[in-house]
Structure 1
Amino acid sequence: MELNKIEILLEKYFQGETCIAEENELRNYFSSPDVAQHLEQYKPMFVYFPLAKEQMLQQEIPLLPIPKFRNEDKKRYVVWVSIAASVVVLLGIGMYVFYNYDNANGKQDLGTYDNPEVALKETQKALALLSNHVNVGIESVYYIKEYQDSKELIFKQ
């Protein structure tokens, strides 16, 4: 019965569903000398955790000193940062002007014509195209009228 309980606790442990008391029970079982043969593979893991908790880092980590700037270095730094910032601002303005130049300059094709005869012909072509599409729509209305007439004959309204 004890072995079955340990196997269930192990399954819960690997699913992340155990409480502290159940984990202590597993740790006590695996630290004892009588561990079942098929569970022997888990023994190093449960024996290692308490040992790892007590380990301390003995090596000292050296801290690097913070470099100190002389007054001349600070001035050079400020000069270079201001030059870099102004270059970034100029690039930003240049990109904005480059991408928005066509819209601001009015280079959009509005379909305007200098010759009135060409404008008349183009307008007539556009109206003819519109008329054809409207006529197609009107033909479908005739089918609706025919349907309405048939309905009135059947129901004699």
Structure 2
Amino acid sequence: MELANIEKLLEKYLDAETSIAEEKELKNYFLSDNVAPHLQEYQAMFGYFSTSKNERFTKTIQLKRKKTNWKWLSVAASIVLLVSVYTGYQNNQQKKAEKIYAETRMAFGMLAANLNKGNDAILQLQHFEDTKNKIFKQPKK
């Protein structure tokens, strides 16, 4: 009866349908010395499971570190720096141009004011000349 039970449990084990208690029963059977001859091929498998459980890996494992790709980061930083310098240069040039335009406009305004003063002075001289000519009755040239 026990052999028939073991064969049923082995079939369930191969179909992955056994419980932990049933697997322990199979393990105990195959680790004993009285295994049926037609089931001895499974004895090696269960023997391997019990011995491999006690194995330990003692060597150190060198894990590869994931290197950060600094080259791409430096390229991106260089591009950002170039764009910001170019933009700053353009803004600086525009501010200089606006400042020069304002100074030129102020200079032309001062020139126009002085020319208007000169024109006023010439008009006064012309008025004086006309008045003098009326008084002294000199002919016009």
Larger radius of gyration: 2
TM-score range, shorter chain: 0.3 to 0.5
TM-score (norm 1): 0.43
